Structure 1
């Protein structure tokens, strides 16, 4: 079963990658807007795709993969177009949330693409067809 790694903010993401990326782990990253005390994001698009993405991760992600669930912060932090918002810069280059990407790969789904189950399934199958999944070892 994939291991979920909750991440809050850019620094935690960078710290997690320092630990996991060097082990050639298969890492999926799901970026979304901060959630309130009731578990609801300020981002309506994130709310709309949440159940579909969670189902796709549960049903299609490689069992040895790591799944980073990355909270990009509150609305003001996300909307910041300056260099302060490091999620918008390479290597992540996010232009929209929600976004789902595979680390060290060009595969990504953004925004309303995440509402399409067929695209979600294809996203995970792409890693399998490229052999990434076969090289995956359990990551800790």
Structure 2
């Protein structure tokens, strides 16, 4: 099924996130993916885990039986992310501890998440998809 992505940064996140949440469709899954910024000269992230996880995440989400809407939120450069007061670290909706972080969003809440090294594991990503989510929530 189709994978639709939208990108955002700290500066425009609330506006973009509001639109993301307002999109309603019965046959649609919503995910947030928090990533480290990319270096424009190399197109690679400063975060090695992000570079490994991204292709796996996209492959798995594209293979979903439902349409997937993915909001990619870029946390900033390394010094910005390392700040303990980073807005997404202290935001009670997300409580980020690391990047990449993949969050399944439904009914105004995170109903599943993978952080750091877990976000690159295909079987863990599969567990966030609807047919497998009940197994993940029981763990």
Q: TM-score range by the shorter chain?
A: 0.7 to 0.9
TM-score, normalised relative to structure 1: 0.79
Secondary structure in structure 1 of the residue aligned to 2:76? coil
> Which residue, 21, 30, 33 being the options, matches 1:30?
33
1:57-68 aligned at under 5 Å gives the runs 57-60=61-64, 62-63=66-67, 65-68=68-71
1:124-135 aligned at under 5 Å gives the runs 124-125=129-130
Q: Is the 8 A contact 1:6 1:68 kept in 2?
A: yes
Q: What residue ranges of structure 1 are gaps of 5+ in the alignment?
A: 130-140
Determine which structure has the larger strand proportion and give its number: 2
Relative distance call for 1:48 and 1:20 in structure 2 (3 A) is closer
Corresponding position: 1:45 with 2:39:
no
2:137 is matched with none
For residues 31-68 of structure 1, what are the alpha-carbon distances to aligned partners after superposition, in whole Å with 9 as ceiling and x for unaligned?
A: 110001121000111112122112112112731x3211
> Which residue, 105, 118, 122 being the options, matches 1:117?
122
Higher relative contact order (CA 8 A, sep 6+): 1
Distance in 2 (alpha carbons) for counterparts of 1:35 and 1:11: 16
Secondary structure in structure 2 of the residue aligned to 1:93? coil
Corresponding position: 1:79 with 2:70:
no
Q: What residue ranges of structure 2 are gaps of 5+ in the alignment?
A: 135-139
TM-score, normalised relative to structure 2: 0.79
Root mean square deviation of aligned Cα: 2.0
